[in-house]
Amino acid sequence: MLSAGPQKKPITWQLTGHARRLLTLAIAGLVITVISRRAEFAGLAAPALLMLAARQGGRPEVVNVEIDVPTAPLTEGEPSQALVRITGQQRAGQVQVRLIANPWLTAGDTEAVRVAGGGSSGGWFRLPFVPERWGVRSIGTVEVTLHDRWRLEESKLTISLPKVTCYPRPALLESQVVLSRLPSRLGEHPSRLAGEGVEFAGVREFVPGDRQRRINWPATTRRGSLQLNIFNAERAQVTVLLMDVSTDIGEVGESTADLAVRAATGIAVRYLAARDRVGLISFGRRVDWIAPAVGRRQTERILHLITEKSASGHPTDVVSELPHAALPPGALVIVFSPLLNLRLVEALRGLRERGFATIVIDVLRVPKVGGLTRTKALADLATRVWRMEQDAIRFSLRELGIPVVAWDGKSSLDEPLAPYTRRPVVNR
């Protein structure tokens, strides 16, 4: 948490609705008194007049506002809070603070809760909220209402809260898609080659220079000559995630772009936790990429690229093929796309021709098409034609050897990827 204040904010006071109603009662009572010459109406106006007479000057013209918002990135669905403190209104009465949240988050409790200080002049107000969508966005505004002691005048102050970064909620993934041939970098996936791993691969005859601790004595006894255990080498995989956010259809929060970034985040986190090298290509209005690397810093770089709209990449229109720098030989390419952008489909064909093992996770969820009775037949026909086009695209990719699996955004990614996580995917 970092304080964003204190800032001096000028305030203007005006009559409350309560004061206006008291004034109405007083004036109405006095007017009727004079018109009808009935003294009891002066008595009717008396309490209102006395309450209005209590109004005094000397209210503060400036208050100090301090704001604390989370500076560390949040995650979708993670409860968080902003803190607001109003000082300098000692001569005023009660302070009310209300969070007017932007649509991308849910305000937990609209009325603020005093968390420290205690007095009416020095307390912090807690504004809980839950971010519902990834991105760098403003929390909203805080409406501060200051009342004078007599509830006759009030001042309303609107303060914009700063932006916060919210990472996408990572999709669940327990297993991993692993290639049969891995580049010669030390890692945690057993490869087919013999090496210094822990997974037993077989035995062979001892030759001078071998480590004696690896002698397999039972096999030596059976065969009559020294036998040595051999193990699979352990290699790191290079995984490149291709996130297609060039088209975004569907309901906010469940759109194709939302599903693509959540899937990309989940897979990036999973593979980086397994000490693989992971890179990312963001295919939106611009093409941005991060070359594969390992480590926590790479996780942060990937999440940063996913979350923030970068202006440094190349416009998609001028990019004829995906960047070579982000696609080292032997990499596994996992694509998250609704496959609505034909430029990307062509790029995938190019990838396959270059020999990359590629898997497409289809994030398109076809909405139900409604319509009036008069137009329903036409809408149904258009939907069928569109579906056939989409099926043709997916069929053509499968024919090229690019598997396309559909993900609904709710279940674990293990489910659609199950056919490819059971055994290593053969690559050239």
Query: Reading across the β-sheet that carries 314-315, which strands appear in turn?
Result: 314-315, 286-293, 277-283, 238-244, 332-337, 357-362, 404-406
Residue 256 to residue 334: CA distance in whole angstroms: 16
Task: Find the binding residues for other proteins in span 401-420 (CB under 8 A).
Answer: none
Q: Is-contact 171 265, C-beta < 8 A? A: yes
The residue within the footprint of other proteins, chosen from 59, 64, 150, 309 (CB under 8 A), is 150
Name residue 83's beta-bridge partners: 68, 126
Number of residues that bind other proteins (CB under 8 A): 44
Q: Which is nearer to other proteins, 54 or 273 (CB)?
A: 54
Q: Which is nearer to other proteins, 145 or 390 (CB)?
A: 145
Q: Which of 1, 3, 14, 21 binds other proteins (CB under 8 A)?
A: 21
Nearer to other proteins, 161 or 306 (CB): 161
3-state secondary structure 251-280: CCCCCHHHHHHHHHHHHHHHHHHCCCEEEE
The CA-based angle 52-53-59, given to 5 degrees, is: 85
Name, in order, each residue with C-beta under 8 angstroms of 90's C-beta and a sequence gap of 6 or more: 60, 121
- In the complex with other proteins, the residue whose CB is nearer, 30 or 405, is 30
Q: How many helices (H) and strands (E) does the chain have?
A: 8, 23
- Nearer Cβ to other proteins (41/356): 41
Closest among 239, 260, 259 to 344, alpha carbons compared: 260
* Crossing angle for the helix pair 296-307 and 256-273, to the nearest 10 degrees: 170
Burial of 248-260, coded b for 16+ CB within 10 Å and e otherwise, reads eebeeeebbbbbb
Min separation Cβ 33 and other proteins, Å: 5
End-to-end CA distance of the chain: 50
Out of 9, 59, 149, 204, the only residue in the binding site for other proteins (CB under 8 A) is 149
Smallest gap from residue 99 Cβ to other proteins (A):
11
Give the range of 13-21, 167-175, 264-272, 351-359 binding other proteins by CB under 8 A: 13-21
Q: Which stretch binds other proteins (CB under 8 A): 11-19, 263-271, 291-299, 317-325?
A: 11-19
- How many angstroms from the chain centroid is the CA of residue 122? 35
Pick 21 or 214: Cβ nearer other proteins: 21
Instruction: Identify which of residues 41 and 271 has a Cβ nearer to other proteins in the complex.
Output: 41
Neighbours of 80 (CB within 10 A): 19
Which residue stretch of 10-18, 217-225, 362-370, 401-409 sits at the interface with other proteins (rule: CB under 8 A)?
A: 10-18
314 interacts with other proteins by CB under 8 A: no
Helix/strand/coil for 117: coil
Which residues, including other chains, have CB under 8 Å from residue 56's CB and lie 6 or more apart? Answer: 148, 150
- Closest separation in Å from C-beta 54 to other proteins: 5
Write each residue from 85 to 124 as x if it is in contact with other proteins (CB under 8 A), else as -, in one continuous string: --------xx-x---x----------x-------------
Task: Compute the distance between CA of residue 10 and CA of residue 214 in angstroms, rounded to an integer.
Answer: 80
Q: Please, what is the minimum distance in Å from the beta carbon of residue 31 to other proteins?
A: 8
Closer to other proteins by Cβ: residue 24 or 71: 24
What is the nearest approach in angstroms of other proteins to the Cβ of residue 20? Answer: 7
Rounded distance between C-alpha atoms, residue 351 and residue 400, angstroms: 10
In the complex, least distance from residue 150 CB atom to other proteins, rounded to whole angstroms: 6
Residue of the chain from 54, 136, 194, 381 that contacts other proteins (CB under 8 A): 54
- Of 64 and 96, CB closest to other proteins: 96
Contact 339, 386 (CB under 8 A): no
Residue number with CB closer to other proteins (111 or 346): 111
Q: Of 23-52, which residues contact other proteins (CB under 8 A)?
A: 24-25, 28-30, 32-51
Of positions 17, 58, 119, 370, contacts other proteins by CB under 8 A: 17
Return residues touching other proteins (CB under 8 A): 16-18, 20-22, 24-25, 28-30, 32-51, 53-54, 56, 93-94, 96, 100, 111, 145, 147, 149-151
